[in-house]
Structure 1
């Protein structure tokens, strides 16, 4: 006998998330098939009798998502499913019995997930954004970088055909300005569909444009265009301000027009010579993309590529890069950077390195310094990240934080999952993030290995 179990799944951010959930569910003993929809936030599992919804929900939870039985037209929920519903809870009321008011600072993956979950729980939300709606991933991170990487991969395949006997290799003409235009158009479309339209269609979310800072533990000051200031009192608050590229303390660097990943992705020209300082994911993936599009690329790695991971990964990527003509300088640092007459000059222990452009990708720093966190008693770590517990609470219990502005792994999957859980906890529930770190460590390393292919 085969049963069909329907689950609601919160925290998925794309079709890739749905694929990973489906694969995990189909590995559960007794599961015959699973269909998972990201747009519907739903999974339908065909399983042998005896496979419980508890087991399936627990499997989904190991990936960092929250699963509960979708009882729309389905059988009555089990005790376990009722328990999940109790944990998710309904929104508590604010003063005078009015709906709980939650302020969300930011509009990226963590902020959007939290805002949508909070209004689903019955709260009212004020979302505050100082710049472009959507945060890092859709605007200057995952989306544009993967589009560029895919274009570079196609250029590489045309130049290095794996079917030389039947498909002749050729050197493609790279029109970088057109690639950037196509890339930005896709970014704009996704931001509109995934963020701006959803916010506009959700009347219980009010969007304020401006810079937010804490006045005290229960209110924000939002400085808007034209010098207008607005006070925003709140019952709960989520800090989801993300992170920005960090500048390493290299003498002379700040006086040069170096690139961060943002400028590199937006550049309409390809440099003849590109130097890259950094040895982790962002540095490595952009280095290879530019090389495959035609730049002569040199990477300066303070240690080795991916030195914090399994050494075999760094060794394999380094070998692949060198085979593609990318120069990888291991155990090399720039002691000074200068810029004159359109050329960068980097002083290293191995002599001078000259380049037309310099990309610095040595990490990201939390966007928290302008928030006046001390006014709300919110503690930060040495890097400026908001210190949180497993429930995403800061040192001030009714103020939460999620995503890249904390010490969580800087991936949109973590941010979205954490934002969802923060919203549940802010509205009377009690759930912890748990399980996502292990999942992401495996997923991230798999992505890193495939980047070099």
Structure 2
């Protein structure tokens, strides 16, 4: 096996291939571990957690009896703590595993296809190496996309990579983008002390149920984050140490500019044509649900493909690709794939939204429960958000859940299991849920299909 990359998909595939009896050559051009552990999930969630702590020290629903104290932010120390944990996890979960596995050979260099059975690797320390393979997995990930705004590329803008590695908290931060990365980092920087302005081409999280974007926009504005909807920067100028962004409405001035407008698959330097591998208009490798590309014996997984860009999807795809490369047959089912946006409140979804169901010709019955009906939220004095259940009309089968809540990411897996097991909303309503947990909101939302939950006692079954 040849595996190009060393992130979640690549590691899962390499380890499973070895388990299946194969020998693996793993090729990595940069840092072992890929995006998630190095410059994505891990450092961003550490920063978001630190920002949350700063926020609750400054402001909480209990300020009346516990007067707040504005925190002092020593960014360089937070950054050192963040990087130390990144280094620790990269070594424990990637580097040391590769070093300790004699069936895996690691080449440090950049691979390109010579044909559909050979790779040419330009080694980082000089020279080239030919790798002939029986099967190959492409798992090269993705990089931040940069929109074609005049003046942007010649300015010292940030992507998420630079933002997470910065040892400063800018006084004024402009953010171009309206999806996951843009919103997570915008709120984190705001809570650490930046005055943040978000420029959204449409609305926040516009691909989701509209109520999600409306709720997050309201929460952000309540924290002092300026959200400019339907706003596009037509020009970027950097002069005198500050950015000036021209829009159709007005100018936005900032000390730093974060561009978070999506990610582009890392496929353009692989010479995929030489191996007969098809890509879509965005350069993503087209695969089937067994991770097979258009070229026999070559598979792909993770963010370089047309699959959803989540690290757990990449890992699952890598494992299944390895099973298929070694002669068995495994598919990746994404029908109950949970997704979380780590804002506060969090956004969590699984299955169909109401709009998506209608697009696929499914008639729906839906209920939305606001968090002022959830005892945990009332006890927290934080009722921002809602839980929405989407059921198939007639059968009552649960087919989708959208939640905005401070702990939405912790409840969504229960919803995913319910959808996976084809449960009805009545079956969900009949289950036992522990009282004073946020996940109890799922039960209460399910009960609203047949009851007025405002008329129930606090933990009525």
The TM-score bracket by the shorter chain reads 0.7 to 0.9
Structure 2 stretches lacking a partner, 5+ long: 350-402, 409-461
Please give the alpha-carbon distance, in whole angstroms, between the structure 2 residues aligned to 1:443 and 1:346: 27
- Alignment root-mean-square deviation, CA: 1.5
The partner residue of 1:440 within 326, 334, 338 is 338
Conserved 8 A contact 1:215-1:376: yes
The alignment partner of 1:365 has SS state of strand
Please give the alpha-carbon distance, in whole angstroms, between the structure 2 residues aligned to 1:200 and 1:441: 32
Deviation at 1:441, TM superposition (A): 4.7
Q: Which residue in 1 is equivalent to 2:75? A: 176
Please give the alpha-carbon distance, in whole angstroms, between the structure 2 residues aligned to 1:169 and 1:362: 35
Using structure 2 for the length normalisation, give the TM-score: 0.74
The partner residue of 1:352 within 238, 247, 251 is 251
Query: 1:413 aligned to 2:368?
Result: no
1:104–1:149: structure 2 CA closer, same or farther, 3 Å change rule?
Answer: same
Please give the alpha-carbon distance, in whole angstroms, between the structure 2 residues aligned to 1:229 and 1:326: 50
The alignment partner of 2:338 has SS state of helix
The partner residue of 1:256 within 128, 144, 155 is 155
Conserved 8 A contact 1:320-1:452: no
Q: Which residue in 2 is equivalent to 1:231? A: 130
Conserved 8 A contact 1:409-1:437: no
The one-character-per-residue Cα deviations of 1:25-76 (angstroms, maximum 9, x if unpaired) are: xxxxxxxxxxxxxxxxxxxxxxxxxxxxxxxxxxxxxxxxxxxxxxxxxxxx
Conserved 8 A contact 2:173-2:194: yes
Q: Which residue in 2 is equivalent to 1:151? A: 50
Query: 1:192 aligned to 2:147?
Result: no
Deviation at 1:437, TM superposition (A): 4.4
Q: Which residue in 1 is equivalent to 2:37? A: 138
1:437–1:262: structure 2 CA closer, same or farther, 3 Å change rule?
Answer: farther
The one-character-per-residue Cα deviations of 1:166-209 (angstroms, maximum 9, x if unpaired) are: 32201000000110000000000000000001111111000000
Write the mapping of 1:77-88 to structure 2, written as runs, cut at 5 A: none
The alignment partner of 2:303 has SS state of helix
Query: 1:313 aligned to 2:212?
Result: yes
Deviation at 1:443, TM superposition (A): 8.7
Please give the alpha-carbon distance, in whole angstroms, between the structure 2 residues aligned to 1:243 and 1:114: 18
Please give the alpha-carbon distance, in whole angstroms, between the structure 2 residues aligned to 1:452 and 1:332: 30
Write the mapping of 1:56-135 to structure 2, written as runs, cut at 5 A: 102-135=1-34
Conserved 8 A contact 1:241-1:404: yes
Please give the alpha-carbon distance, in whole angstroms, between the structure 2 residues aligned to 1:390 and 1:452: 31
Deviation at 1:452, TM superposition (A): 9.7
Using structure 1 for the length normalisation, give the TM-score: 0.76
Write the mapping of 1:226-375 to structure 2, written as runs, cut at 5 A: 226-375=125-274
Q: Which residue in 1 is equivalent to 2:354? A: none
The alignment partner of 1:262 has SS state of helix
Q: Which has the higher contact order (CA 8 A, sep 6+)?
A: 1
Q: Which residue in 2 is equivalent to 1:205? A: 104
Please give the alpha-carbon distance, in whole angstroms, between the structure 2 residues aligned to 1:450 and 1:289: 17
The alignment partner of 1:337 has SS state of strand
Structure 1 stretches lacking a partner, 5+ long: 1-101
The one-character-per-residue Cα deviations of 1:118-151 (angstroms, maximum 9, x if unpaired) are: 0000000000000000001000000000000000
Please give the alpha-carbon distance, in whole angstroms, between the structure 1 residues aligned to 2:35 and 2:308: 14
Please give the alpha-carbon distance, in whole angstroms, between the structure 2 residues aligned to 1:203 and 1:118: 13
